[in-house]
Every structure is written in structure tokens, then in C-alpha cells.
Chains A and B, each alone.
Chain A
Amino acid sequence: MTAKEGRKEGRKEGRKEGRKEGRKEGRKEGGSVMAIEETPVYEVFVQADALSFPTHVGSVRASSPEFALQMAREAFCRREAAHDVWVARADAITKARSDSATLPRQGTDKRYRLPGGYDNAPHWKRFKAMAMTIEEVAADMRTKPGR
């Protein structure tokens, strides 16, 4: 065995021993070594591009927001690039489901709030004009002015 190998071996052994004891004692005395489950949960939101909403994709445990971002990149962004990634501590999020009074429910007829609640096409027809849809307006905005 070379001197180098000897050192390596020694280090390994030493570390193993030290670790085992350190971990046990650390836990017992509430020392510096924390277990992974004592670190907070961060919910992860990935925003694909500037015009999409950040979408919840899952959660990670980490000891700081910076580490949470690193974990999130490894866990959820191995393929697609992201425009942005948000992490928020799970215990900082309040959900409407936990208080059903705050939960938006489909109780009464809400069609009056929606474009589909208005059937204008037959009326426009009577005036010999075409009804408009938002899709058509949006498409129009993409063509050059004056056309």
C-alpha cells in the first residue's frame, strides 16, 4: 500500500467512525447536525416563459431558499429551460381549501361573466355584420396595421 492509499484508507475509517458518533450525539444533545426532515419544505413553481404563469410542480426540503432553488433545478428542470423558478416555504402558503368559506365555488349561474354567456352572432347577422370573437381580434392584432 502506498502512502497515499494509506492516507485515503485512514481518512475513510476516521470519517466513518466520527460520523457515526457525531450523528448520534448530535441528535441526542440537539447539536449542530440536523436531520434532513428537520429542514423546511419549499413548494416549487416553474415559469416556462415570460408570458406563462409560474406553475406548481412539487416540493423539496432544503436548509435555505438558495439550496431549495438548487434542489428544484435538479429535481424538476433536468430537461426544459425555465424562465424563472420560485420557491416558497410551504408553511407560508395559505390554501382556500383549509377554510371552505373562502373557496370559490360554482354556485349560481356565472355565465353572465363569461364571453359564452352572450350569443350575439344571430343579432349581428340581422344587421348583415359579423360577430367578433377574442381569437379573431387577437389574430388581427398580429397582422400589420392597415390591412
Chain B
Amino acid sequence: MDDVQRVNDFKARIGAGEKIESTDWMPKEYRDLLIKQIHMHGISEIMGAYPEKEWVGKAPTIRRKLALNAKVQDEIGHGQMLLRLAEDLSRPYGRGREALMDDVLEGRVKFHNVFHLEAPTWADAGVIGFMVDGGAIITQAMLLDSSYAPYARMLKRIVAEESFHMQHGESVVLALAEGSEAQRAMLQGAITRWWPAMMYFFGPRMMGPSSQKMMDYKIRTMTNEQLRQKFINRYVPRIQALGMAIPDPALYQDAATRTWHYTDPDWEWFTAVVHHNSGPMSQARLSLRREAHRGQQWVREAAIEAGRVLQERGA
């Protein structure tokens, strides 16, 4: 058990807007919340590379191929940076990089609902950048002020790269919107597919106890609903300006409160997908990850072995 006085002092530091470093003392509760958040974030970055990786080989032009390839590389990089942070936090539990990575393969850590879904057309590749990376930026911009300094610092870097993902996604979306009827229909199809997933993306209307605690510790500073409202407010006018329809007849903004009303996504279905990896692409993406992880095992071993040999020679 943590000393009550120590915990209270820690909470006072957070209350005063102080930032926490990985080497600072922290209550177990704070550490566990951070591990949960950063582990899931890191793994989601890695799993997020797969829906678009599929499109690198099928991109319509060489420029698109280069850009998408760069994006996929960024996502894996984000995952590595975040797992490094999760690993530092997990030190007291003796859990390292391998264990944190195995967790996703063995279903002990979840990843974002959007990465369990299909990306059947080129428009999906664009809409993912436009809406999913755009949505992630909203969440991450909030986390830039997180009480855990290593996370906030790393997010500065990540957000700068995400902004390229969003711009590139928008560029694909705009090219399709300016294109033929068939291209516009393809874009509409992708928006229709991704909209409900984006309504789920920010989490339930009523936050669970651990999200609430993350607010108390200022790991995060806004509620799920506040984030979702920001997203809707930003995306509805843009999607409508493109002449595209949003697949929600109940969507409207209350003129007085400026609050958006929307149809709830199928909470139960999405929650089951995330908890049991039972979405249309969950198992396929996990097996790609498994293949990559096991397939590169010899590279990791060779790098470690080479380092050992070099050191022996140096000594």
C-alpha cells in the first residue's frame, strides 16, 4: 500500500500543474493508469499501420505510394516510441518490450476499434488519414498537456507527424471529391463506412471509472463526449462542403447550446469487437503482426549478437 501522505502530496503536485517524470515517485494507481493508456496507444499505433499498409502496393500513383509508405513507417515508429515509455513504467513489474508486444498477440491488450475494420477501397485509405488520423490528433492534442511529461513530450513529435497523415488523407479525399462520379461514389461509400466507427472511437458517453481517474490525475483533460463534439464540429461542415452525406439522419446541432446530437454507434458490437478481436479484420491483422514479429525475430537476435561481438572486440 502506498503511504497516504505521499499519495496526497503527489495529488497536490498534480493539482498545482506540476509534471511528473519517469524517475519520480508515483502512486501505483497513477502508474497503472499510465501503463494502460500508453500501452494501448502504442499497440494501436502499430496495429494502425496495417489497414493502410495493404494499400501501399495498390496506391494509384508513385507519389501516393511514397506518402502512404512514409505514413506506415511513422505509425510503427510511434508504436516503438510509446512502447519505450510503457516499458519504463512497467519496470517495477519486470515486464519488458517482448512481453508488452506479446500482450496484443495473446489478447491481453486492446487496440482501437477502427483498426479492426476493412479498408476495401482506395477511398478508405484516404478517409482513414482524413478521419481516423484527424480524430487521433484531437485526442493527442489534448494529451499534449498531460501530467506525465515523457508522454506529453513524445506526443509533440507524434502530433507533428500525424499532421502529415491528416494532410495526405485530405489530399486523397479532395482528389476523389473533385473526380468522376465513380470516384465520388467511392468516397461516399468510405465516409458511410467510417462514420459510425468514428462515433465509437472517442469512447462511451459516460466514461468508465479508469477514464475518470485519468481526468483526476490530469493524464487527460477532456471527457470522451467533449472530444467527440470537437470531432463532429470540425468534420460535419467539411464533409458537407464536399457534397457528401453523413450517414446519420438524427445528426443536428442545437442552436442554443451548440451541442451536436447524433445516433449512437452500435456500442455493444464495437465493444465486443475490441474485447474479443472479433471484428471483420481483427484476426487477419493480428496474424500479420504475428508474422512480422516472429519473422523479424532473427533480425533482433542478429542485432543483439552483433553488438555483443563488437563489444567483445572493443574490450
Residue in B88, B297, B306, B307 whose Cβ sees the most chain A Cβ within 10 Å: B307
Evaluate contact between B305 and A32: CB separation under 8 angstroms.
yes
Residues facing B in A19-45 (CB within 8 A) are 19, 23, 32-39, 41
Residue of A nearest to B70 (CB): A78
For chain B, what secondary structure do more than half of its interface residues adopt (helix, strand, loop), or is it mixed? helix
Residues of chain B with a CB closer than 8 A to A37's CB: 87, 96-98
Residues of chain A with a CB closer than 8 A to B52's CB: none
Binds B, one of A62-70, A117-125, A130-138: A62-70
Q: What is the CB-to-nearest-CB distance from A24 to chain B, in angstroms, rounded to a whole number?
A: 12
Q: Decide if A60 is an interface residue (CB 8 Å cutoff).
A: yes
Evaluate contact between B308 and A75: CB separation under 8 angstroms.
no
Residues of chain B with a CB closer than 8 A to A33's CB: 301, 304-305
Assembled-state Cα–Cα distance A60/B154 (Å): 13
Known: A75-B81, A97-B24. A63 touches B308 (CB 8 A): yes
Q: Decide if B80 is an interface residue (CB 8 Å cutoff).
A: yes
Evaluate contact between B307 and A63: CB separation under 8 angstroms.
yes
Residue of A nearest to B300 (CB): A36
What is the count of residue pairs linking A and B with beta-carbon distances less than 8 angstroms? 72
Count, chain B residues at interface, CB 8 A: 31
Known: A78-B70, A97-B23. A67 touches B84 (CB 8 A): no
Known: A35-B96, A37-B97. A58 touches B154 (CB 8 A): yes
Interface size class of A (residues with CB under 8 A): 20 to 34
5 further A-B contacts with Cβ under 8 Å, apart from A16-B294, A38-B96, A75-B77, are: A32-B308, A35-B98, A36-B300, A63-B311, A78-B70
28 contacts between A and B (CB under 8 A): A16-B294, A19-B297, A19-B298, A34-B305, A35-B97, A35-B98, A36-B96, A36-B97, A36-B98, A36-B300, A37-B96, A57-B157, A58-B153, A61-B97, A62-B307, A63-B304, A63-B305, A63-B306, A63-B308, A64-B306, A64-B310, A64-B311, A74-B77, A75-B80, A78-B70, A78-B73, A78-B74, A97-B23
Q: Which residues of A contact B (CB under 8 A)?
A: 15-16, 19, 23, 32-39, 41, 57-64, 66-67, 74-76, 78, 95, 97-98
